[in-house]
Structure 1
Amino acid sequence: MTIEITPNRSALGAEVRGVDLSKSLTADEFTAIQQAWYDHIVLLFRGQKLSDDDLIRFSRHFGELDIAPASATDMAGAQEKSRPEIWIISNVVENGKPIGALGDKEAEWHTDMSYVAAPPMASVLYSLEIPKTGGDTSFANMYKALEALPDDLRAAIEGRTCNHDASTTSVGELRAGADAVVDVRTAPGAKHPAIRTHPATGGKALYLGRRLNGYLEGYTVEESEKLLDLLWTHCAKPEFSWTHRWAVGDMLIWDNRCAIHRRDGFDGRERRVMHRTQIKGDAPR
């Protein structure tokens, strides 16, 4: 079958048909997929039947993989359930121990692991078990959010650096060994430009990481809080986003350099099991 790319009728995202990711990709197939990813930021592959090895092989087409974060493996014992490159995202508890990370709570808008010096450029998420309702994942296009940013707000952040807090997860939980943040100006984490340039497309995008404990360098705390509130309210506008309702066998890959994402909470009595890989990136510029 010929690969077919069908864009969503939204600000980002496209479905890719005509490819079985349990098999190796040809050079031409990967070229088509990579270009579609650059064009649409998030790609959806439905009806896949993938082993962890298949997921890793596909992900490696895009670059070197990160190892699952220590916070995930320490808390969940994920290494007992999967390959080191796989991070299990799940609310399931077996023998009194979580098999994965992030549970069943709502995950606020964020960019994956932006609190490190060289955040992952991409995340790949594959669904094995899903709840009947909830757990949907939304994405927002940060190219478009920047393009539509009011001139005064853009001027306020142009050339500015934002501190990305490392103390909490996207569901608001304090990471193992981390202290609660008292002063956002000294929060642990990495400092990145608030507007970054995509190294492959050359496009400029907002790069905010997550709202909690964020701080715009060079402003007072009060000024930073006001600006960040305005920026996040702007980024969360529906015209920049698309929401995916999961089915078993769905796989998504998204570009962390130009998108943010969030997850709806769901009934913790139902099972949700997802396997994720992350492709290494470089320092935002």
Structure 2
Amino acid sequence: MSVATQTKLRTEHVKPKIGSRILNKKEELLSGDLADEIREELEARGVLVFPGINFTEDEQIAFTRTLGEYASENPDGSVSKITLDVKENPSAAEYLKGSLYWHIDGTRNEVPILASLLSCKVPSPKGTGNTGFSNTYAAYEELSDADKAKYDDLKVVHAPWASLFYYEPEPPLAKIKGMQAIGEKVLPLVWEHKSGRKSLVLGCTAHHVIGVDHLESAQIIHGLREWATQPDFTYSHEWEPGDLVIWDNTGTMHRAEWYDPNCGRMMLRTKLEGEEPWTV
């Protein structure tokens, strides 16, 4: 008599407070049998690395669909090309500028995306082009009780135009007005999720804390970013061809690390639709 063998998720921690490597075979991942375990590991660890999994574009979309609702960025449902080659990505120059600073995607949306999946087709030269991640669940959980009480009820205005000054300290007025027209949104500094866990909501779109003196506001925003991006809570992934990385956009920040725009780096991205609105 044959006995059915249940596939188990095989993992190893990248660092104590962030990141897991997923060691299962491609066929096991595409079956969908591991989807629930992968989702649990993603929330627990913030970032999941699938080294050398070598998904095709169709396989990456199929794998994304096993984990939730596929949030296509293109009308035809294809993957998105993430590159600084202006022939492939006309907005490459602006993408480079904004992506080099810690951020969370979708701070203006009612429901931010759940996760992004990024795969590497052509890496940049060694020592450049990493993607950095910060576990903002872990960063909150390691705060003192006094700091948690201080920050738990604060609200922050997030605005895309605030990020402009990170890479262009003296922008023209027309550019400021254009980015201000995109809008702003009030978000919690500490997001209490439906799971009961809490994460910090930070990044280069954070402009000011509501109801707090401007000096203290700057100290809170930048001090917590410094706290959340210390080595204990961060991981920098050095890409190899075929790697796939998923990050929980609701409980991590991310950023691109510098690389030469002419080096040919090519990444493919898919996303999972958000499932939980901001709690303000």
TM-score, normalized by length of structure 2? 0.81
Whether the aligned pair in 2 keeps the contact of 1:138 and 1:261 (CA below 8 Å) is yes
Q: Secondary structure at the match of 1:252?
A: strand
Which residue of 110, 130, 134 corresponds with 2:103? 110
Structure 2 vs 1, CA of residues 284 and 93 (structure 1 numbering), >3 Å: closer, same or farther?
Answer: same
Which residue of 16, 24, 27 corresponds with 2:22? 16
CA deviation profile, 1:82-130 (whole Å, cap 9, x unmatched): 9445322101233995679724886111112223221111111111111
Residues paired across the two proteins, number: 265
| 1: CA distance, partners of 2:19 / 2:43 | 10
CA deviation profile, 1:212-248 (whole Å, cap 9, x unmatched): 5522122233331122121112112111111111101
| 2: CA distance, partners of 1:33 / 1:131 | 28
- Of 145-154 and 122-131, more deviation after overlay is shown by 145-154
Question: What letter corresponds to residue 154 of structure 1 in structure 2?
Answer: K
Q: Secondary structure at the match of 1:102?
A: helix
1:159 aligns with 2:153: yes
Question: What letter corresponds to residue 207 of structure 1 in structure 2?
Answer: V
**Percent of paired sites with the same residue:** 23
RMSD: 3.3
Which residue of 5, 8, 12 corresponds with 2:11? 5
Which residue of 47, 54, 61 corresponds with 1:56? 61
Which residue of 116, 133, 143 corresponds with 1:149? 143
1:180 aligns with 2:176: yes
Q: Secondary structure at the match of 2:161?
A: coil
Structure 2 vs 1, CA of residues 66 and 95 (structure 1 numbering), >3 Å: closer, same or farther?
Answer: closer
Structure 2 vs 1, CA of residues 36 and 218 (structure 1 numbering), >3 Å: closer, same or farther?
Answer: same
Which residue of 257, 266, 272 corresponds with 2:265? 272
Whether the aligned pair in 2 keeps the contact of 1:123 and 1:277 (CA below 8 Å) is yes
Structure 2 vs 1, CA of residues 21 and 13 (structure 1 numbering), >3 Å: closer, same or farther?
Answer: farther
Structure 2 vs 1, CA of residues 132 and 224 (structure 1 numbering), >3 Å: closer, same or farther?
Answer: same
Q: Secondary structure at the match of 2:138?
A: helix
Structure 2 vs 1, CA of residues 126 and 232 (structure 1 numbering), >3 Å: closer, same or farther?
Answer: same
1:189 aligns with 2:192: no
Structure 2's unaligned 5+ residue stretches are 1-6
Structure 2 vs 1, CA of residues 188 and 150 (structure 1 numbering), >3 Å: closer, same or farther?
Answer: farther
Structure 2 vs 1, CA of residues 207 and 263 (structure 1 numbering), >3 Å: closer, same or farther?
Answer: same
TM-score, normalized by length of structure 1? 0.80
What is the CA distance between 1:164 and its match in structure 2?
A: 1.7
Q: Which residue of 2 aligns with 1:31?
A: 36
Which residue of 247, 250, 271 corresponds with 2:243? 250
Q: Secondary structure at the match of 1:13?
A: strand
Structure 2 vs 1, CA of residues 280 and 190 (structure 1 numbering), >3 Å: closer, same or farther?
Answer: farther
Whether the aligned pair in 2 keeps the contact of 1:90 and 1:99 (CA below 8 Å) is yes
What is the CA distance between 1:153 and its match in structure 2?
A: 3.9
- Of 102-111 and 117-126, more deviation after overlay is shown by 102-111
Structure 2 vs 1, CA of residues 179 and 95 (structure 1 numbering), >3 Å: closer, same or farther?
Answer: closer
Which residue of 87, 94, 103 corresponds with 2:87? 94
Question: What letter corresponds to residue 242 of structure 1 in structure 2?
Answer: Y
| 2: CA distance, partners of 1:44 / 1:30 | 15
Structure 2 vs 1, CA of residues 226 and 3 (structure 1 numbering), >3 Å: closer, same or farther?
Answer: closer
Whether the aligned pair in 2 keeps the contact of 1:107 and 1:264 (CA below 8 Å) is yes
| 1: CA distance, partners of 2:167 / 2:92 | 19
